[in-house]
Structure 1
Amino acid sequence: MTPPPGWYRDPNAPHLERWWDGTAWTEHRRPPETPAVPPAPPTGTTGGTAGTGRAKAIALTTAGAVLVGAIVTGAVFLRGDDGEPQPRTGPAATASATRLPPPSPSTPEPGTADPDVVEDQLNGITFPLLDGWVRPKHVAQDDVVMTTDGTYDCPGEGSVCRHGLVISRTLTETDQTSPEALAKEDISDAAEEAFGENALGEQPYGGLKSHEVVKSGPVAVAGRAGYFVRWRVTTGEGPGGHVQSTVFPSSVGTESPVVVRYVFDAGQDAPPLSDMDRITKGIRSVTDADSGGGVGSSVGPTH
């Protein structure tokens, strides 16, 4: 039985409450609210019996809230066969009594994620979430940080396709450090993965037939000197599309090279190619909110 939407004890931080939307946890969190207890009625007035009754009702209500909170906290962990606690994926159904109205989207709570930014914690960067783009949902590909909103029937094999994807990866299996060399090497793999054969052996676009380089050059990303290559690809079925590989050194850890891939189809509802440049220019380091860049910028590496 799936609990209804509401505030429940956060399974990862029991001292906080977290919003359950009915199917999954959201990023909205808050401190638990303490029930307000009104002052006791003055002594020596009429209606003392009624005042005592109200005080008892308040005490029972407070005790009930504490009991429900204890049930929720205790239900977060269940014992497995080996006696170790097993985390639950959602709140206990018995906690539905603590439901409260959801937070207003126009007034996010302090400490919650910026709704207009997507964070790649592994590579220490954030991406601007432009109009028409959403956080990934039900996406089979690895390392996807955002997609265009909605899906459509693939022109070739497969079930559904998306008009645009942005993918962020760390290039670890290479000794190469030159962003230019890495971008020129990655672009062919990016095009094949996007428009060729997928992991299931299907060809959603009828296979990759040809390509041409339409744009390439140095680019500053999150305050780091990088390089990008953009291809226009022709596919066996459908209108084809564009794919871009942008490589730059990470600003965290060992400064391993990061590749951001852009995959746009060329259909009528495809995102504008300018979104590639706008997203690239808006990439920031999580340690430096003022970092940025764009095509043609002369910002070099920072150490």
Structure 2
Amino acid sequence: MSMTTPPGWYRDPSAPHTERWWDGTAWTEHRRTPEVSQQQLQHHYPQQQQSYAQPQTVPMPARAGSGRAKAVALTTAAAVLVAAIVTGAVVLSRDDGDSEPGARTAPTPTATAPTSSPPSPSESAGDDPAVVVDELNGITLPVLDGWAEPKNVSDTDIVLTTPGTYRCPGDDGLCRHGTVLSRTVTANDEKSPATLARQDISDAADLAYDRDRIDRRPFRGITSHKLVEQGPVAVAGRTGHLVRWRVTTEVGPGGYVQSMAFPSSVGSESMVMVRYVFDAGEDGPPLADMDRITEGIRPVGDEDTSGGVGSSIGPTQ
């Protein structure tokens, strides 16, 4: 029975020297150059100084005309030749021409799952419960006090939530006091973080507080909104832009919505959008957590590069 290949980085079938992101059903446009550690190189190409047959001195016969001496010399030479042939075959079998050490075989939609599954978020972060990993966009986000990795959520873009749920004050359903989403911008080719953030904020507010994806109105709609903050921001060493609204709803306390766009530091450096949705009122998370989470976003594998409001802006695009 065939199995669906899980999402992950695999060798690009159209460019074997690069890796490409497989989302579980199809190839995306995200590509990267595989990083090969010295340990991987040693694993795939071990020291071979003992593999090759060393030249041996064939003893000269005591008597050149002795048939026994000639037989001994020929036998010894034949043994050396056989050893060299066998050793060469072993060495060639170790180095069979793979183009990139450590690269995984490219998946096909009907292929069985690779023997090496993609790492889970906790494995990618070194089993660190204090961060959650967005491997596709190449970032980690801090798990602050009062926040947790998502569980029992239908939106796969959600990377952080406040624990627990409550009954929505409008249409039937369960709501959360806070969520953070991370997704790749694929709707257009716009590369300006400011333009993307301004375009996204209205959709982000509508989905959170007006009408959700299954046409429910958990807060019976937005009655007004107010711009409370916008401007450049450094995110994981990259130049980004944020827009933040305070929205008022027909029922309930309303909340704060923020759209933040910045270029990814991996693959083709596609634009990344991080959305924050915080309920207002006593039960909502502290508004300062938006800035604290932003400041804690880092590239995968780089614990030193951070950013946030008021930080030095990273390289412009």
TM-score w.r.t. the length of structure 2 is 0.60
Corresponding residue number in structure 1 for 2:116: none
**Which secondary structure state, in structure 1, belongs to the residue aligned with residue 311 of structure 2?**
coil
Separation of aligned partners in 1, 2:310 and 2:213: 36
Percent of aligned positions that are identical: 60
Q: 1:158 deviation in Å? A: 2.8
Q: Does 1:283 align with 2:297?
A: yes
The change in CA–CA distance for 1:215 and 1:85 in structure 2 (over 3 A counts) is closer
> Which structure is higher in strand share?
1
Bigger radius of gyration: 2
Q: Does 1:261 align with 2:275?
A: yes
Are the equivalent residues in 2 in contact too, given 1:170–1:259 (CA < 8 A)? yes
Separation of aligned partners in 1, 2:216 and 2:206: 12
Q: Does 1:248 align with 2:253?
A: no
The change in CA–CA distance for 1:250 and 1:205 in structure 2 (over 3 A counts) is same
Corresponding residue number in structure 2 for 1:235: 249
CA RMSD of aligned residues (A): 2.4
Q: How does 1:188-227 map to 2 (within 5 A)?
A: 188-227=202-241
Are the equivalent residues in 1 in contact too, given 2:124–2:133 (CA < 8 A)? no
Q: Does 1:274 align with 2:288?
A: yes
Q: Which amino acid aligns with 1:263?
A: V
Q: 1:141 deviation in Å? A: 2.3
**Which secondary structure state, in structure 1, belongs to the residue aligned with residue 196 of structure 2?**
helix
Q: Which amino acid aligns with 1:119?
A: V
Separation of aligned partners in 2, 1:294 and 1:125: 14
Q: 1:214 deviation in Å? A: 0.3
Are the equivalent residues in 2 in contact too, given 1:119–1:127 (CA < 8 A)? yes
Tell me the matched-pair count. Answer: 201
Q: 1:242 deviation in Å? A: 0.3
**Which deviations, in whole Å up to 9, do the C-alpha atoms of 1:70-112 show, x marking residues without a partner?**
xxxxxxxxxxxxxx989xxxxxxxxxxxxxxxxxxxxx99985
Q: How does 1:106-185 map to 2 (within 5 A)?
A: 112-185=126-199
| Unmatched tracts of structure 2, length 5 or more | 1-5, 7-110, 114-121
Separation of aligned partners in 1, 2:163 and 2:232: 30
Q: 1:272 deviation in Å? A: 0.5
Q: 1:296 deviation in Å? A: 2.5
Q: 1:287 deviation in Å? A: 3.9
Separation of aligned partners in 2, 1:142 and 1:111: 19
